């Protein structure tokens, strides 16, 4: 008679048995090996965690009552670090309620001691089959999501073909990747494509915007914290490195990380180990890191704002995403892609773009890159009542995409729609932001109106402080890096350069 585990095609699955009773461990090992399972033994919860990190079993069977880290605490730790790993708990008759409660927080099943051989094999078979089904579903979803994300990276130009070739080269490996390029070029999509085409595609893909968090919160977000580590830390928190175990972590705007945090990050990248904020326990993580930035990190190193050793650790494989102005031949495909997306999303009639408008799209330099083009097409789709787009919210352009001189642009004709929208304030030769024009009334959606208010406040602060960002940031109650990030997001111009 064939054993249930073998009949189900599960021969060779690696099972970790955790029990402080040597007789129980021995009996389970004999029965499981007869059923063609590979068996790993551990005497306590701490040893079990070490074996999981070292040997990556397919399933864990653990006693509930053990000294030190008991079965319930082991379950909680396994759920946090290895959420897809099935855990079966063993308990005596007097602890059935505890086992049932454990199932509510993630145990796959439970067994009553003394464990019968037939029941043991049936429970293991069921847990492993459920895991296999979950993995298959996750794989199919990853394939589907990977195709969708790959479709979002559009480009037949030579610069983009080079990017695609680099993605194909590095994706199957675990190498660290540094993705650089101006804001809005699609660094996030490149990072996602690398993950989706990698062996880690079944694992999580998480991202942290390093510019959006102050130093203390950034360390907690990346490395986690222990209960009581600081005011408000009411429970243990697993950071993004732990949450991305067996997956990929994208560190966006890596150039904004403070020097003190850079030291901790370098240690994790070199050793694969971290300590939560306020903790002493060493946690091992298996994470692929993709770093992205719009800064010149070599220049940041020379200026003393970025550690040289961290730069060389991150710069194992470099992908530079070209600006949209460097690949104008991709603009028609991108524009039509965004047209179809937002016409469907907003149920609008637009189906094509007029030849005159397409020419203007190709002439404009797109300082905000693909993101600016996407937002321009979405706005145009929303306001166009017919099936053809004729206008988007960009200035008139000359061949080559430069703005026409201000003298050549006459005042906009008066219409019933009210005054024209305000353009970003120009910068003079000294670097100061020019005085702001009288403010038009707010309009559009609530997020658009809030962005406009934020833009006005930043421009006013820059004007009042003579264009000095450090003083403007202090006036606004922001850090300098946070102000820089907001200026980039809102496309605010200074020193002749458009952040966007």
- Give the separation between CA 159 and CA 480, rounded to whole angstroms: 33
Q: Which segment of 154-163, 317-326, 401-410 scores lowest on mean pLDDT?
A: 401-410
Whole-model pTM above 0.75?
no
pLDDT above 60: residue 388: yes
pLDDT of residue 57: 92
pLDDT of residue 98: 66
Ordered alpha helix ranges (H), 290-330: 297-302, 308-314
pLDDT of residue 295: 93
Smallest Cα–Cα separation from 142: which of 202, 204, 82, 207? 202
Residues 75-120 pLDDT 10s: 888 877 787 889 999 887 666 676 667 677 678 888 888 888 989 9
pLDDT of residue 2: 40
Q: How confident is the model at residue 433 (pLDDT cuts 50, 70, 90)?
A: very low
Taken in order 63, 64, 68, 69, the sign of the CA dihedral is positive
Residue 223 has which token pair? 């490395």
Whether the Cβ atoms of residue 338 and residue 186 lie closer than 8 Å to each other: no
Residues 212-252 pLDDT 10s: 888 778 999 999 988 888 877 778 888 999 999 999 999 99
pLDDT of residue 342: 93
What is the rounded average pLDDT of the residues 353-365? Answer: 89
4-135 matches 153-322 in fold: yes
Does residue 122 sit in helix, strand or coil?
helix
- Give the separation between CA 70 and CA 416, rounded to whole angstroms: 73
- Give the separation between CA 256 and CA 66, rounded to whole angstroms: 46
pLDDT of residue 242: 92
- Options 3.40.50.300, 3.40.640.10, 3.40.50.1000, 3.30.70.270; CATH of 153-322: 3.40.50.300
Q: Which CATH architecture has domain 423-500?
A: Orthogonal Bundle (1.10)
Q: How confident is the model at residue 382 (pLDDT cuts 50, 70, 90)?
A: very high
- Give the separation between CA 188 and CA 53, rounded to whole angstroms: 30
Residue 300 has which token pair? 């940041």
Residue by residue, DSSP assigns 419-436 as SPPPPPPPB-TTSPBPPP
pLDDT of residue 54: 86
- Give the separation between CA 290 and CA 170, rounded to whole angstroms: 11
pLDDT above 50: residue 437: no
pLDDT above 80: residue 62: yes
Residues 257-304 pLDDT 10s: 999 999 999 999 999 999 999 888 899 999 999 999 999 999 999 999
What is the rounded average pLDDT of the residues 442-470? Answer: 75
- Give the separation between CA 90 and CA 61, rounded to whole angstroms: 7
Percent of the chain with pLDDT over 90: 47
Domain residue spans in the chain? 4-135, 153-322, 330-405, 423-500
CATH class of 4-135: alpha beta
- Give the separation between CA 200 and CA 448, rounded to whole angstroms: 37
Smallest Cα–Cα separation from 335: which of 321, 314, 354? 354
pLDDT of residue 205: 94
Residues 300-309 pLDDT 10s: 999 999 999 9
Q: How confident is the model at residue 183 (pLDDT cuts 50, 70, 90)?
A: very high
Smallest Cα–Cα separation from 63: which of 47, 81, 80? 47
Q: Which long-range contacts (CB under 8 A, 24 or more apart) does 114-121 make?
A: 115/24, 115/27, 115/28, 115/90, 117/31, 118/4, 120/28, 120/31, 120/32, 121/3, 121/4, 121/5, 121/31, 121/35
DSSP class of residue 232?
Answer: T
- Give the separation between CA 107 and CA 119, rounded to whole angstroms: 17
Residues 299-350 pLDDT 10s: 999 999 999 999 999 999 999 999 999 999 999 999 999 999 999 999 999 9
Three-class HEC string of 366-419:
CCCHHHHHHHHHHHHHHHCCCCEECCCCCCCECCCCCECCHHHCCCCCCCCCCC
Check residue 272 and give left, alpha or beta (phi > 0: left; psi -120 to 50: alpha).
left
Q: How confident is the model at residue 152 (pLDDT cuts 50, 70, 90)?
A: low
Phi, psi of 140 (to 5 degrees): -65, -40
Q: Which CATH architecture has domain 330-405?
A: Orthogonal Bundle (1.10)
pLDDT of residue 302: 95
pLDDT of residue 143: 54
Percent of the chain with pLDDT over 70: 79
Mean pLDDT across the chain: 81
Whether the Cβ atoms of residue 337 and residue 189 lie closer than 8 Å to each other: no
Q: How many CB atoms lie within 10 A of CB 155?
A: 20
């Amino acid at each position: 008679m064939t054993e249930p585990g073998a009949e189900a095609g599960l021969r060779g699955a690696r099972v970790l048995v955790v029990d402080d009773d040597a007789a129980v461990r021995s009996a389970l090992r004999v029965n499981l090996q007869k059923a063609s399972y590979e068996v790993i033994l551990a005497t306590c919860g701490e040893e079990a965690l070490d074996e999981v990190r070292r040997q990556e079993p397919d399933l864990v069977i653990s006693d509930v009552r053990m000294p030190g880290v008991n079965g319930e605490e082991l379950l909680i730790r396994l759920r946090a670090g290895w959420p897809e790993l099935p855990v079966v708990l063993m308990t005596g008759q007097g602890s059935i309620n505890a086992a049932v409660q454990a199932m509510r927080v993630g145990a796959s099943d439970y067994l009553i001691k003394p464990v019968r051989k037939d029941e043991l094999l049936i429970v293991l078979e069921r847990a492993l089959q459920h895991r296999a089904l979950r993995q298959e579903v996750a794989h199919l979803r990853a394939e589907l999501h990977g195709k969708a994300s790959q479709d979002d990276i559009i480009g037949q130009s030579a610069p983009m073909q080079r990017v695609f070739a680099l993605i194909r080269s590095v994706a199957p490996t675990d190498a660290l990747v540094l993705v650089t390029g101006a804001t809005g070029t699609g660094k996030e999509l490149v990072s996602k494509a690398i993950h989706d085409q990698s062996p880690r595609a079944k694992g999580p893909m998480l991202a942290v915007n390093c510019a959006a968090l102050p130093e203390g919160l950034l360390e907690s977000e990346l490395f986690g914290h222990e209960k009581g580590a600081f005011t408000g830390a009411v429970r243990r928190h697993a950071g993004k490195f732990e949450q991305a175990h067996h997956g990929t972590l994208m560190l966006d705007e890596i150039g904004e990380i403070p020097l003190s945090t850079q030291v901790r990050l370098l240690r994790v990248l070199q050793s694969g180990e971290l300590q939560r904020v306020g903790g002493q326990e060493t946690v091992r993580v298996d994470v692929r890191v993709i770093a992205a930035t719009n800064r010149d990190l070599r220049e940041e190193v020379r200026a003393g704002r970025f550690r040289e050793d961290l730069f060389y650790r991150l710069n194992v494989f470099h992908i530079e995403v070209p600006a949209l102005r460097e690949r104008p031949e991709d603009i028609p495909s991108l524009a039509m892609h965004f047209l179809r997306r937002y016409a469907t999303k907003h149920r609008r009639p637009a189906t094509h773009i007029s030849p005159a408008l397409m020419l203007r799209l190709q002439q404009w330099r797109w300082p905000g890159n693909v993101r600016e083009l996407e937002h321009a097409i979405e706005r145009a789709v929303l306001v166009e009542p017919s099936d053809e787009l004729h206008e988007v919210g960009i200035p008139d352009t000359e061949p080559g995409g430069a703005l026409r001189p201000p003298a050549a642009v006459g005042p906009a004709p008066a219409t019933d729609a009210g005054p024209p929208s305000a353009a970003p304030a120009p910068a003079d030769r000294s670097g100061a932001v020019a005085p702001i024009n009288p403010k038009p009334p707010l309009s559009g959606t609530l997020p658009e109106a809030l962005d406009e208010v934020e833009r006005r406040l930043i421009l006013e602060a820059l004007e009042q402080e003579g264009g000095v960002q450090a003083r403007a940031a202090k006036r606004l109650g922001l850090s300098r890096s946070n102000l820089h990030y907001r200026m980039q997001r809102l496309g605010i111009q200074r020193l002749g350069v458009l952040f966007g």
